[in-house]
C-alpha cells in the first residue's frame, strides 16, 4: 500500500521503515502525525481464521484524530499475492478521493483571497465527481483560478483540459468541439511537457487525441497514464471509451469491467455504466448494451452520453419505443446532437462506424443538423 500510494502525484508518503516503527504500539494518530509530519494516517489490522482473512483499514485525520474513511475486507486465503494486490488496489482507489474530499473541507475554511493553486484544484475535484453541467462549470472556474495563480501547474492544466473535453462530449460547451479542442489539446500538451509523470496530464492528452481521432496515440497516452498510476480507474474507463471509439469493443469492455470491479464506489462511477453500454454496443453484445444503458440512465439521468448509448443498443435489439425515447431524451439534454454532430464531433475513428451509427438512429428521429 505504501508503494502504491507513493505513486500518486501530489501525495507526500512516509517510507514504511518510518511508519512501521509504530507497529503494535498503542500510539494515537495525532502523535503519529506530529512525529512524522503528515496530515493523514492509514492504519489497519489483519486477522486470520482458518482459510479466511479479515482486514480492517482506517484513514484518519492526524490533526483532529477524526476518522475519514474505514472499510473491512473478508476474503478466502487462497493466493496470498493475488489477495495482496486486490486489497491494495481497493484501498488505494478508495483513499485517494477521500483525502481529496477531506482536503476540500479543510480548505473551505480559508478565505478566497488566501487560496493557492493546490487549494483551487482540491476545491474543484469534488465538483468534477458530480458529472453535472453545473458542477463542471464550477470546477472549470476553480481550475481557471488555479492557473491564474500558477500558469504552469501541470495537474490544473490536465484537469482543465480533460473536463473541457468531457463537457464537449456531453454537449455542455458553448461552441462545441471546434472551439474547445485546440485550447484543450494545447493545455494537455503543456501539462505533459511540464510534468510527464503526472497521470492526469497523460489522461488529458490521451483524451484530446481521442477527439482528434488519433487512435493509436490516444491509446498509448492512456496506457502511459496507467503505467504511472495502475489504480487510476478513470484512466481505465477513458481507455475503454477510446478503444470502443476505435472499434475494439471487446478490449473496451474488459477495461471498463476492471474499473467497475475494482472501484464500485468510484467518484466517477456515474460515467462508467454509459461507457460500458457503448463498449458492449461496439462489441456487438446488444443485450448487455441495453442492460448497462438502462442502469446508467437510472443512476445518472442527466448525462446525455448514457442515453446515447442506450438508444444504440435498444435500436439494435428492436426495442423501437425505448430507442426513440432514449434518442429524444438525448436531443433534449444535448440540443446539438445530430447526424452532423456524429460526423464532425464524435470520436468514432472509422467512417463506416459513423455511417452505421447514423443509419441506425436516423429513422428513429436523429436530426440531420
| Predicted confidence (pLDDT) per residue in 56-105, tens digit | 999 999 888 889 889 888 888 888 888 888 888 888 888 888 888 888 77
For the stretch 209-253, pLDDT in tens is 999 999 999 999 999 999 999 889 999 999 999 999 999 999 999
Which residues are paired to 60 by β-bridges? 41, 67
Q: Model confidence over 152-181: pLDDT tens digits?
A: 999 999 999 999 999 999 998 877 899 999
Q: What's the rounded Cα separation, in Å, for the pair 31 and 63?
A: 9
> Pairing between strand 67-76 and 40-49?
unpaired
Q: 4-18, 120-134, 226-240, 256-270: which has the minimum mean pLDDT?
A: 4-18
Q: Which three cell numbers stand for residue 354?
A: 459513423
Alpha helices (H) along the chain? 2-6, 16-19, 29-36, 80-107, 117-130, 133-149, 154-169, 176-194, 199-211, 215-228, 233-245, 249-262, 269-282, 286-299, 304-317, 320-333, 339-344, 351-361
Q: Would you place residue 2 in the very low, low, confident or very high pLDDT band (cuts 50, 70, 90)?
A: confident
Please enumerate in sequence order all residues whose Cβ is within 8 A of that of 87, keeping only pairs 6 or more positions apart, or say none.
55, 73, 75
Domain boundaries, the chain: 2-107, 115-364
Q: Whole-model pTM?
A: 0.86
Confidence grade of residue 111 (pLDDT, cut at 50, 70, 90): low
| CATH architecture designation of domain 2-107 | 3-Layer(aba) Sandwich (3.40)
pLDDT at 201: 97
Region 136-159 average pLDDT:
96
% of the chain exceeding 90 in pLDDT = 65
48-65 confidence digits (pLDDT tens) = 888 898 989 999 998 888
Closest CA to 106 of 122, 121, 117, 126: 122
115-364: CATH topology is 1.25.40
Same fold, 2-107 and 115-364: no
DSSP state of 113: G
On the question of pLDDT at 114 being above 80, the answer is no
Amino acid at each position: 500500500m505504501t508503494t502504491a500510494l507513493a505513486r500518486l502525484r501530489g501525495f507526500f508518503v512516509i517510507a514504511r521503515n518510518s511508519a512501521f516503527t509504530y507497529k503494535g504500539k498503542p500510539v494515537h494518530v495525532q502523535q503519529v502525525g506530529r512525529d512524522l509530519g503528515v496530515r493523514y494516517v492509514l492504519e489497519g489490522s489483519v486477522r486470520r481464521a482458518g482459510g479466511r482473512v479479515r482486514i480492517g483499514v482506517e484513514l484518519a485525520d492526524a490533526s483532529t484524530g477524526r476518522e475519514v474513511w474505514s472499510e473491512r475486507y473478508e476474503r478466502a486465503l487462497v493466493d496470498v499475492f493475488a489477495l495482496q494486490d486486490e486489497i491494495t488496489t481497493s484501498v488505494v482507489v478508495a483513499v485517494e478521493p477521500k483525502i481529496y474530499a477531506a482536503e476540500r473541507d479543510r480548505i473551505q475554511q480559508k478565505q478566497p483571497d488566501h487560496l493557492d493553486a493546490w487549494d483551487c484544484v482540491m476545491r474543484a475535484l469534488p465538483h468534477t465527481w458530480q458529472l453535472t453541467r453545473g458542477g463542471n462549470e464550477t470546477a472549470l472556474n476553480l481550475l481557471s483560478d488555479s492557473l491564474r495563480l500558477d500558469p504552469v501547474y501541470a495537474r490544473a492544466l490536465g484537469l482543465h483540459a480533460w473536463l473541457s473535453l468531457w463537457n464537449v462530449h456531453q454537449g455542455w460547451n458553448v461552441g462545441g468541439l471546434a472551439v474547445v479542442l485546440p485550447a484543450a489539446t494545447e493545455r494537455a500538451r503543456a501539462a505533459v511537457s511540464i510534468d510527464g509523470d503526472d497521470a492526469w496530464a497523460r489522461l488529458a492528452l490521451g483524451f484530446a487525441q481521442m477527439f482528434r481521432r488519433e487512435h493509436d496515440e490516444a491509446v498509448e497516452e492512456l496506457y502511459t497514464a496507467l503505467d504511472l498510476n495502475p489504480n487510476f480507474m478513470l484512466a481505465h474507463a477513458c481507455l475503454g471509451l477510446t478503444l470502443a471509439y476505435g472499434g475494439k469493443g471487446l478490449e473496451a469492455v474488459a477495461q471498463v469491467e476492471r474499473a467497475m470491479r475494482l472501484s464500485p464506489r468510484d467518484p466517477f462511477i456515474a460515467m462508467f455504466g454509459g461507457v460500458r453500454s457503448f463498449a458492449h454496443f461496439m462489441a456487438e453484445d446488444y443485450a448487455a448494451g441495453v442492460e448497462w444503458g438502462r442502469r446508467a440512465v437510472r443512476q445518472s439521468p442527466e448525462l446525455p452520453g448514457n442515453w446515447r448509448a442506450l438508444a444504440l443498443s435498444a435500436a439494435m435489439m428492436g426495442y423501437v419505443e425505448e430507442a426513440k425515447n432514449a434518442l429524444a431524451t438525448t436531443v433534449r439534454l444535448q440540443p446539438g446532437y445530430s447526424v452532423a454532430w456524429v460526423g464532425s464531433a464524435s470520436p468514432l475513428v472509422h467512417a463506416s462506424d459513423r455511417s452505421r451509427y447514423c443509419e441506425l438512429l436516423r429513422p428513429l428521429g436523429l436530426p440531420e443538423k
